[in-house]
Structure 1
Amino acid sequence: MKSSKIYGILLFVMFVWGVNVSAMKYLTMDAAPISMSAIRILLASIVVFLLLKPFGLVRRLTTKEWGYVWLGGLLNVALHHALMSSGLSLTSGANTSLIIGTTPLVTAVLSSFLLRTVPNALQWIGLVLGLSGIAIAVIFSGDGTQHLSWGDAFIFFSITSQALSFIVILKAKRTIDPRLLTAYMFLVGAIMLAISGVILEPNGFATIPFNNLTFVAVLIGSGAVATALGHMLYNYAVGQVGPTKAAIFINLNTFFALASAAILLGEPVGWPHYLGLLLVIAGVIFGSGIAEHWLKKSHIES
């Protein structure tokens, strides 16, 4: 698939994930976070399997592939979603948006150590621009961080776990389609989350308000669209362009998260958000390799 289509997929995923930050914040206000996540991820697993079945992509895995599934399920699903949902219940959406924006940097650093794929100069410029845009949009918006909390730490460890999982996905895609890998990871991750919920949140499943139609609708939307479709497409993109370039688009996640909060929650949007958006877009252009492609193209034409 052409790079332009992959980047279009990543842009769509960032929009969905940005809206999902507000959705998850809402869900954690009314239910035990880990228990709620177990149900949401199980729903996501079912949806992905149903989407892949008509295309003949569902198959049995080898012993080695199951190893990738369990490791990816632990990092990308169980730890990532348990820490993310727990962190959202303890910190603000603004703090969460800012910390999520560090995912590209965390991914680049981990990749440089584990895969020996150190980002080039243009990619580092992209990271700096993107993170600068995030910082301006969050800190100067009036919703900035007043202090760091356990919730902030949970969010950071959540994106660190996710960054590690991208490397697992990159290795696993040699023999297994990343979309099928996503379905199996969600399945084992949901099992891990359910067990954790029973241990850490006694009667946690009883707190989930299934009689609240709004809650159920948000839960289904979050699980089926943001988690199932979003992660399936993102993991596919990781397999196509690599973890570092794909992770740079996480910067857009932050902007969409702030925008959705303004639209859905009525929070004001001012100049910091617009300036932050420009810097984030510039960061994506430099960090994703688009600027490098333009430079090479102009050099050839000249």
Structure 2
Amino acid sequence: MCALGATALWAGNFIVARGFHHSLPPVTLAFWRWVIAVAVLLPFALPHLVRERARIKAHAGYLFLTAFSGVTLFNTLVYVAGLATTALNLSLIAMVSPLFIVILAWLFQGETMHGAKVAGTLMAFFGVLLLLTGGSPGVLLELRFNIGDLLMVVAALIFAFYSLLVKQKPPGLSMMTFLGATFCLGLIMLVPAYLWERGFSLAPLMPLTSMGVLLYLGVCAAVAAFALWNRAIMLIGPGRTAVCYYLLPLFSGVEAMIFLGEPIGWIHLASAGLILSGVALSSRSSG
């Protein structure tokens, strides 16, 4: 349920951010998203950060690496990639991330690749392909890859790397301390890129009309989603958690129908059946 909740919130993130890059440039969007996330989380995390400061210092290298990959780089690259490529390309490339997670977990963390997990992952993969191509495989042959596509591939790999790092969280660090430290460190590492993008300008920092969207991105798609995703990884491992990410296009489709009035057809229903069956199959334990 934690992984499903995180995926649903991230689907809303894509719905909200789809036309939002015209209002704020990508690094600025990422920066203010994490400013709000830190502002919301810090009052709850501060007592934990103070109490566990010795452990934070002892694991500073791990926390910097996790913050840099999951907070500083991942979402920023997604927003930058969105400026240079199509939504179809982004969706196709984004679904590679769960495959990266499963493969990296198998290579470096010894997660078992039993038959059910392999079959379920492939089933979910083809379900997403069916959804994104509209049942016409020829669409894939017409794709043209550019710098945005390459950046999205890098973002997908970084997200997989981050998910594996979460599984390696030192046992002495509470999840609140982990989130508070990585959010703060990731935001700090975003500052130079933010100032560079703004040309070191002291012009108005953020339009008030953007506050509602940024509040959603900061509170729901950052604090709540990352907390749920990290909790899922700790409970069931990165491989099984990753498969739930295949549900992202389904959640996006439902939310687009509700909030944007976009229709759902037989392709969506057929792909939903494949994806849900694949998730259920892959989530079965090897025992």
- Alpha-carbon shift at residue 280 of structure 1 (Å): 0.9
The letter for the 2-side match of 1:273 is H
**Higher alpha-carbon deviation: 87-96 or 109-118:** 87-96
Residue of structure 1 in register with 2:261 after alignment: 266
Counterpart of 1:249 in 2: which secondary structure? helix
Aligned Cα root-mean-square deviation (Å): 2.3
Query: What is the distance in 2 between the residues matched to 1:42 and 1:236?
Result: 22
Residue of structure 2 in register with 1:220 after alignment: 215
Residue of structure 1 in register with 2:272 after alignment: 277
**Higher alpha-carbon deviation: 56-65 or 100-109:** 56-65
Q: Closer, same or farther in 2 for the Cα pair 1:254/1:207, shift >3 Å? A: farther
Residue of structure 2 in register with 1:139 after alignment: 133
Q: Which of 11, 15, 26 lines up with 1:22 in the alignment? A: 15
CA contact (8 A) 2:36 2:214 kept: no
CA deviations on 1:203-253 (whole Å, 9 max, x unpaired) are: 6885865232xx210111111111111101211221121111111110111
Residue of structure 2 in register with 1:50 after alignment: 43
The letter for the 2-side match of 1:198 is L
Q: Closer, same or farther in 2 for the Cα pair 1:195/1:18, shift >3 Å? A: same
- Alpha-carbon shift at residue 201 of structure 1 (Å): 4.8
Query: What is the distance in 2 between the residues matched to 1:151 and 1:207?
Result: 28
The letter for the 2-side match of 1:261 is A
Q: Does residue 1:177 correspond to 2:141, yes or no?
A: no
Q: Closer, same or farther in 2 for the Cα pair 1:242/1:207, shift >3 Å? A: farther
CA contact (8 A) 2:6 2:229 kept: yes
Query: What is the distance in 1 between the residues matched to 2:66 and 2:13?
Result: 21
Residue of structure 2 in register with 1:237 after alignment: 232
Q: Does residue 1:83 correspond to 2:49, yes or no?
A: no
Q: Does residue 1:211 correspond to 2:208, yes or no?
A: yes
- The equivalences for 1:180-199 within 5 A come to 180-199=177-196
Query: What is the distance in 1 between the residues matched to 2:255 and 2:88?
Result: 12
Q: Which of 276, 282, 286 lines up with 1:287 in the alignment? A: 282
**Higher alpha-carbon deviation: 96-105 or 14-23:** 96-105
TM-score for both structures, normalised by structure 1: 0.84
Runs of 4+ more than 6 Å apart: none
Query: What is the distance in 2 between the residues matched to 1:207 and 1:86?
Result: 22
Q: Closer, same or farther in 2 for the Cα pair 1:98/1:173, shift >3 Å? A: farther
Q: Closer, same or farther in 2 for the Cα pair 1:181/1:243, shift >3 Å? A: same
The letter for the 2-side match of 1:150 is I
CA deviations on 1:92-138 (whole Å, 9 max, x unpaired) are: 33332332222211101111222122421111111101111111111
The answer for unaligned runs of 5 or more in structure 1 is 1-7, 297-302
Report percent identity of matched pairs.
Answer: 21
Query: What is the distance in 2 between the residues matched to 1:97 and 1:105?
Result: 14
